[in-house]
Every structure is written in C-alpha cells, then in structure tokens.
Amino acid sequence: MSQLIAEKLGQAVALLNEFDLDCWITFVRETSLNGDPILPFLVPGDLTWHSAIIIARNGKRTAIVGKYDRQAILDLGAYDSVVGYVEGIRAPFLEAMSGVRPRTIAVNYSRDSEVCDGITHGMYLTLVDLLSALSLQNRIVSAEPVISALRQRKSAWEVQVMQEAIRHTLDVFDLVTPFITAGRTEEEIAAFMRAEVGNRGLAYAWDPASCPSVFAGPDTAEAHYGPTGRRVEPGHVLNMDFGLRVNGYCSDLQRTFYILSEGETQPPRDVVHGFDTIRRSVEESRKAMRPGVPGVAIDRVARDIITGAGYAEFPHALGHQVGRFAHDGTALLGPAWEKYARKPFQLLEEGMVFTIEPRLTVPGKGVVTIEEMVVVEPDGARYLSAPQESIIVRR
C-alpha cells in the first residue's frame, strides 16, 4: 500500500499540471461509514474526524487529519506535511490553503462518474464554508479529470496484481468444471467454488451473495443475482460470473457451459452459432481498441456483429473498467444511452483495463456470454485473461 500511495501521489501532481489545475482536495469524515472511492490511493486506512488531503500542482502534499490518524499517514513518508488536530480542522486547513492560494480547486464531485463523486453534500457545504473564509469558494471545479486518470492509467504493478487475481479466478473455473453435471443446483456449484476461495484465503470481487453468479438454463435473472436451487438440466446452457480480489485489485470473468442431452456428443447448432458469434464479437472488439478511440465505437463493433447474426442487441454496455472495484473507472465501452451519460465518449488511454462481455439468448436453452479482461497498450489491447475459445461441454 505504501508503494501504491507514493506512486499515485506522484501521478496526481503530474495530472494537476496536465489538466491545468492548481489544487486537489479530498475532504472526508468517518470513512468507514461513508468513504470516498479514491481514498485507498491516498491513505492506508479509514479516517475518523474531518480530514483534508491537499495536493498542489507545485508538488506539495498535505494531510490534515485527526490526532489519532496522524501516525499511520506519517509512516507512509509520502506527504510533505501531516497535521494532526484536536479541536477542529478549520485553523490548520485555512493555514494550509493560505499557502496555496489556488486559481482552481478540484473537489471530488461528478454528475457522470460514481468513482469521482466521493464528497457528500454535507461535506461539500462544509468545505465551501471553510473556503469562504479565504474568498476561495468560487474556485471549486470537479476533480473528475484527475480522479479518472489516476484510477484508469494502471501502473505495471497494478496490472501485475490484477493478473494474479485473474489467475486464481481461472483456476477456480477449471476446478469447478468437472463438478458441473446434470442434477447439480446453482447453489451447489457456487458452494464448491466458495470452498476453494476459502482454501486460498482470497476475497471476492463483489458481494459474495452473488459472487459467483450461476445461471442454469433459460428464464433466469441473467445477471446481478445469487445462485438458486434451480437444477442443471440436459440441453441447457449454464453461465457463471465470478471475480476475486487480490491485494485490493479485482478480476471479473464469465464462462459459458453446455450440458449435453442424451445422445448428444456436442452442443447443437444453435448453441454453437451463438457461442461463435459471442467469441467473434469479443475478438473484433479487442482488435478495435487503442488509445484515442471512444468507447462508444468499440461497443458498436460488438453490437453490430451480434445484431447482424440475427440476435437482439444486449441491454448493457459491452465492457466496464476493472481496478480496485469490479466496476471501476469512468470511461466505458458502451452505447450512447441516457444512463451512461458521457462515459462512452471518453477516449481510451494506455493502461486502462476493461472487460469485454457481450451476451445473447439462445431460445429455450439459456444465455451465452463470455467476459474477458484486456489492457489498453500503445498499439492496441492485450488479453489479461486466457480467452474462452470454445463452449465447455458437460453431461
């Protein structure tokens, strides 16, 4: 964590200069109850009383925190000044800001990006009151450009840790494959996987109630739902959504299986056609990815392939970023729909890690989907996960 925080603080200073911002303030309290998503990049744990992390474009880094939170931040060796107060934050905060006198003050709010919208309304009002004492309240702007870039531009270390999470995830998929047979329930399959996660001492990438998600056959919830007592049946498709967290970073992958009916030696033509369509849409989307291309253009590649093959278009974005959360970052591989706001129009950048996860329905059999993870590099995008090349067949 010390290495990550030092790295990200240095990156933040460079970003302030890149985006012509004079100062960035992260303003929080009782973060175990109401934490800012950016906080793990700035401090090693939760903060209790009103706290301000102030980073200036000249490189000065100041942390103003409660007395009992001071030592943990001081031990990082990443801040130029760590102030611990007792009675209130006003005096040390005003003193620090008097030394900055910024033209622009980036604050953690955003209309479009949940990862950049960390300040609560009450804390925002408190911050405005504090800045008013220095006549700086009208210099507040959104910190979205800085926070987005800080999260999205993954370092080599961050990518390496994510690849370790991916490795464990694929291992568990491999281990559960022989366990999947007709008659097993979704809950039994999930329990097998959870036992293996426990054996490895790992954490889940999202709520364990729906990680893994297991969907057997047609007419399921399809996504964002926990495993049920539904049984695996011959002639049905089964798909699973699963991810793990290693050293604070996540994986998020999906795999699709087919359960052979009596007399079948391979999946039927409609299932194979569906899988091949998904596989082609994933690969062609990956090949189209490179820095400077908007996410909406990549989403269109996959959407056109799927609808061109006669299927309905999938009702979600093609892919999201992954990082410290399974859904992370601002830029999105998505369509120009209201719910996605400006995210699909953000340009891809080197270091971004995305999922690619189209889906389609094979009538009477279930949902066919794959979810792979890729990293954007200078000349394209590289798979981080070994892609599923063919449907996994079980009896």
Nearest to 107 by CA among 78, 82, 74, 138: 138
Cα separation of 12 and 227, whole Å? 41
- Of 363, 364, 380, 381, which Cα lies nearest the Cα of 372? 381
pTM score: 0.94
- In tens digits, the chain (395 residues) has pLDDT values of 788 999 999 999 999 999 999 999 999 999 999 999 999 999 999 999 999 999 999 999 999 999 999 999 999 999 999 999 999 999 999 999 999 989 999 999 999 999 999 999 999 999 999 999 999 999 999 999 999 999 999 999 999 999 999 999 999 999 999 999 999 999 999 999 999 999 999 999 999 999 999 999 998 988 889 999 999 999 999 999 999 999 999 999 999 999 999 999 999 999 999 999 999 999 999 999 999 999 999 999 999 999 999 999 999 999 999 999 999 999 999 999 999 999 999 999 999 999 999 999 999 999 999 999 999 999 999 999 999 999 999 99
Identify the pLDDT of residue 1: 77
What integer pLDDT is reported at residue 120 of this predicted model? 97
Alpha helices per DSSP H over 99-214: 121-132, 144-152, 156-176, 186-200
Q: Which domains does the chain have, with CATH numbers?
A: 2-151 (3.40.350.10), 153-394 (3.90.230.10)
Among candidate residues 27, 50, 238, the one with its CA nearest the CA of residue 140: 27
What is the distance between the alpha carbons of residues 223 and 118, in angstroms, rounded to a whole number? 27
| pLDDT score recorded for residue 378 | 97
Amino acid occupying residue 304 = D
Residue 307: how many other CB atoms lie within 10 Å: 13
Report how far apart, in Å, the C-alpha atoms of 129 and of each of 88, 91, 93, 257 are. Answer: 14, 13, 12, 57
What local confidence, expressed as pLDDT, does residue 101 receive?
86
Q: Own/partner pairs for 332-335, CB < 8 Å, 24+ apart?
A: 332/295, 333/285, 333/295, 333/298, 333/299, 334/295, 334/296, 334/299, 335/296, 335/299, 335/300, 335/303
E-state strands within 289-389: 319-321, 328-333, 353-356, 359-362, 366-369, 372-377, 380-383
